[in-house]
Amino acid sequence: MLDLISFLTQIPVKKDVNIEAVKAKSHLFPFVGLFIGLIVAGVAFVAFGLLGAATEIAALLTLLALYLVTGLLHLDGLADFFDGVMAPGSRGEKRRAMKDDKIGIAGLFAAIFVLLLSLFAIETVGADFTAAGFGFDLVSFYAFAAVFIIAEVSAKLSMNTCLVIGKGFEGAGGLGTLFIRSSSPVKYLTALISAVLIALLFTASFRFVIVFTGIIVAVVVSYVAKRKFGAISGDVVGASNELARCATLLIWAVLQTCL
């Protein structure tokens, strides 16, 4: 778990990450999502509790905390993915655009759009809890934490889904290829069961099914990647992570306002 946390976050729990260990235990990604979600939920809980009506600032601090914990690696993958998708030409030219170190306008737009959607979703969810007058107690934190934990677990389940779908469609080299080749249906089933159990632990209502958003996003992203690039790479997996988290937060926001 220390290798997984070091690989998927900016928290320096280990000086040197053992990539072989991370590959072998990639089916435990949902538990890292639980860990990340708890930290972000703690920041959000304090921010919305202390700032009261200033929900926009609280949401911004929450989003900042998220990326301080997770880093920008997957966000960079999202930008690269959309640069490749929107690039003209053959699959080879699209793959070269995706691997280009320089960010294009398509990638920049996608990254900003996803960040804004995530920000608005967090603000909507937080404002609803604030309006309900939640207090600083474990019961309130439990309800509040479910949003961020399930969103992050959904994002990690999305990564696992991309890895297993990518079997036979690995890109030519890179970490993404290594992880795809080490994945298996058994490992994926372990990740899926883990994600569902974590979701059930934090919400006894039907909302636990929101964690499956990560699977839907991964299927769509993988389909686009296969069609546009003919392969699934690390950038594709990273993009799926970011899109799944954003989509899950948006679904929570819609449910909070409509139900």
**Burial (0-12, 13-18, 19+ Cβ within 10 Å), 132:** exposed
- pTM exceeds 0.85, yes or no: yes
The pLDDT of residue 172 = 60
DSSP labels for 168-185? Answer: T-B-SSSHHHHHHHH--H
Handedness of CA 89, 91, 92, 96 (dihedral sign): positive
Place of tokens 């990518």: 166
What is the full per-residue pLDDT of the chain (259 aa) written as tens digits?
889 999 999 998 887 888 999 999 999 999 999 999 999 999 999 999 888 789 999 999 999 999 999 999 999 999 999 999 999 999 999 999 998 888 999 999 999 999 999 999 999 999 888 877 777 778 888 888 999 999 999 999 999 999 999 988 876 677 888 899 999 999 999 999 999 999 999 886 788 899 999 999 999 999 999 999 999 999 999 999 999 999 999 999 998 888 6
Place of tokens 């890292």: 32
Helix, strand, or coil (residue 102): coil
Residues 6 or more apart whose CB falls under 8 angstroms from that of 133 comprise: none
Where exactly are the structural domains of the chain? Answer: 2-258
The pLDDT of residue 135 = 75
Residues 6 or more apart whose CB falls under 8 angstroms from that of 80 comprise: 98, 99, 100, 103, 107, 235, 238, 239
Helix, strand, or coil (residue 221): helix
Phi, psi (5° rounding) for residue 170? Answer: -65, 145
Maximum C-alpha span of the chain: 56
The pLDDT of residue 16 = 84
Tokens found for residue 140: 């309130």
